[in-house]
């Protein structure tokens, strides 16, 4: 792939970890070791700021493997553009100085590059995100699309961890209310499948509205995160209920999930300009979907563009042609009459102008001075 094609790539990647020599000349320690060719420098610098990670357990603890991996979907506004950031940040053992290391693999894309399965399901694709870096710094090949799939994977995580799969609908409903969600968990619990199942309950056009972090740490200023996975006992757990957040504590039974009454309205497809959309009857789908309380996955009905059916033309009534002819004859008669009157007026000579006032006065004076 040449440079021109790389610059056209809409999906950019960046890998950040601790190495003795980074991609940028003179860089070492925690720095960028790889990124997509042609990525703008301002975007690369912003992606680096999403690489923060807090180790819960450090060597030589036997619980190091319980350090959670952080899976994030966030949005970033730069100028007039909105970008989606998909990041996986996790423990990476020890670095070249024998200190704790991390590896962050970021993807950055625009709306047109977002697949229908939603952001959380992308983390389930094998080998999409790097988990280690053992090569020299370099450029990554340009990626033009994510792997495509129409059905988000479901694993029964809510039933297994929460006791009731309908909790996925409760969390999904917050996309409408914009209510924050805090899911408290013990180390060793993977909350990402909970996000995958909740997003799978949403219509496609709502899935990429959700921002989340499966292991929430501090984010750069001005970056919002609606769904947060928070480790019990962490500083973030002390403020988990801030902003009237929905708090779900997985360390204790959740009980039966409350009923959901809200609905999602989907956008209707716009018919082509040359097609007349038919009037939809009240018995047909209205484009409003209710959240299912007990289903594994909502089957969203397919939207279809209304098709214009060309039927037989109704012949005009037999008297319509005669009426048109009569109107035309009447208009012709009136036009002819108007032309005749105008011609007569045009051919008649105008009357002589009245004598001027000055001429009458002189004649009267002559008659007075010289009587006839």
pLDDT band for position 324 (cuts 50, 70, 90):
low
Structural contact between residues 76 and 220, judged by C-beta atoms closer than 8 angstroms: no
Q: Which residue has the higher pLDDT, 78 or 370?
A: 78
SS3 5: helix
Closest by Cα among 88, 246, 274, 284 to 168: 246
* Under 8 Å between Cβ of 137 and 21: yes
In this structure, what token pair is assigned to residue 41?
């420098």
Percent of the chain with pLDDT strictly greater than 90: 60
Segment among 3-12, 85-94, 262-271 with least mean pLDDT? 262-271
Specify burial of residue 166 (Cβ count, 10 A radius: 0-12, 13-18, 19+).
buried
79-101 tens-digit pLDDT: 889 999 999 999 999 999 999 99
* pLDDT exceeds cutoff 60 at 352: no
Of the segments 278-282, 302-306, 332-336, which one has the largest average pLDDT value?
332-336
Residue of 48, 17, 20, 21 whose CA lies nearest to 30: 17
Q: Where are the beta strands (DSSP E) in 81-226?
A: 81-94, 100-109, 138-140, 181-185, 212-213
Would you list the DSSP string of 192-237?
A: HHHHHHHHHTS-HHHHTT--EESS-----TT---SEEEEETTSGGG
Res. 265 pLDDT band, cuts 50 70 90:
low
Q: Model confidence at 315, in pLDDT bands (50, 70, 90)?
A: very low
Residue 273: pLDDT over 80: no
Does the pLDDT at position 326 exceed 80?
Answer: no
Looking at residue 6, what is its pLDDT?
Answer: 45
Angle (CA) 351-355-361 rounded to 5° is 170
pLDDT in tens, 184-242: 999 999 999 999 999 999 999 999 999 999 999 989 999 999 999 999 999 999 999 99
pLDDT at 249: 97
Residue 329's pLDDT band (boundaries 50, 70, 90)? confident
Alpha-carbon dihedral 115, 119, 124, 126, rounded to 10 degrees: 60
Per-residue pLDDT reduced to its tens digit, 119-156: 999 999 989 999 999 999 999 988 889 977 656 667 79
Rounded to the nearest integer, the mean pLDDT of the chain is: 79
pLDDT level of residue 349 (50, 70, 90 thresholds): low
Look at 356 and 160; give whichever has higher pLDDT: 160
Q: What residue segments make up the domains of the chain, in order of their start?
A: 1-57+66-148, 154-270+286-302
Determine the average pLDDT of the residues in 97-120: 96
Distance CA 192, CA 209 (A): 16
Question: In terms of pLDDT, which residue wins out, 284 or 70?
Answer: 70
């Amino acid at each position: 792939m040449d440079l021109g094609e790389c610059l056209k790539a809409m999906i950019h990647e960046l890998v950040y970890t601790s190495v003795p020599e980074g991609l940028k000349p003179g860089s070492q320690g925690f720095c960028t070791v790889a990124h997509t060719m042609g990525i703008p420098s301002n975007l690369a610098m912003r992606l680096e700021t999403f690489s923060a990670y807090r180790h819960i357990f450090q060597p030589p603890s036997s619980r190091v493997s319980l350090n959670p991996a952080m899976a994030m979907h966030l949005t970033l506004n730069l100028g007039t553009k909105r970008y989606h950031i998909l990041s996986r940040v996790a423990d990476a053992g020890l670095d070249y100085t024998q200190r704790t290391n991390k590896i962050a693999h970021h993807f950055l894309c625009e709306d047109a590059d977002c697949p229908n399965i939603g952001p959380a399901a992308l983390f389930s694709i094998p080998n999409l995100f790097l988990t280690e870096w053992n090569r020299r710094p370099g450029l990554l090949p340009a990626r033009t699309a994510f792997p495509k799939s129409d059905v988000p994977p479901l694993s029964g995580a809510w039933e297994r961890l929460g006791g009731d799969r309908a909790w996925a609908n409760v969390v999904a409903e917050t996309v409408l209310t914009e209510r924050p969600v805090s899911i408290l968990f013990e180390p060793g619990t993977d909350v990402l499948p909970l996000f995958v199942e909740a997003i799978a309950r949403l219509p496609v056009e709502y899935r990429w509205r959700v921002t989340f972090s499966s292991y929430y740490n501090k984010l750069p200023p001005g970056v919002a995160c609606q769904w947060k996975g928070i480790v019990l006992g962490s500083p973030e757990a002390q403020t988990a209920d801030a902003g009237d957040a929905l708090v779900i504590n997985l360390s204790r039974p959740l009980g039966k999930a409350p009923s959901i009454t809200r609905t999602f309205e989907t956008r209707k497809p716009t018919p082509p300009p040359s097609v007349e959309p038919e009037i939809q009857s009240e018995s047909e789908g209205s484009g409003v979907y209710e959240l299912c309380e007990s289903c594994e996955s909502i089957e969203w009905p397919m939207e279809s563009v209304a098709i214009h059916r060309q039927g037989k033309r109704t012949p005009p009534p037999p008297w319509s042609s005669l009426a048109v002819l009569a109107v035309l004859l009447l208009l012709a008669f009136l036009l002819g009459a108007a032309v005749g009157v105008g011609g007569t007026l045009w051919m008649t000579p105008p009357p002589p102008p009245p004598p001027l006032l000055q001429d009458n006065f002189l004649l009267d004076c002559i008659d007075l001075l010289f009587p006839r």
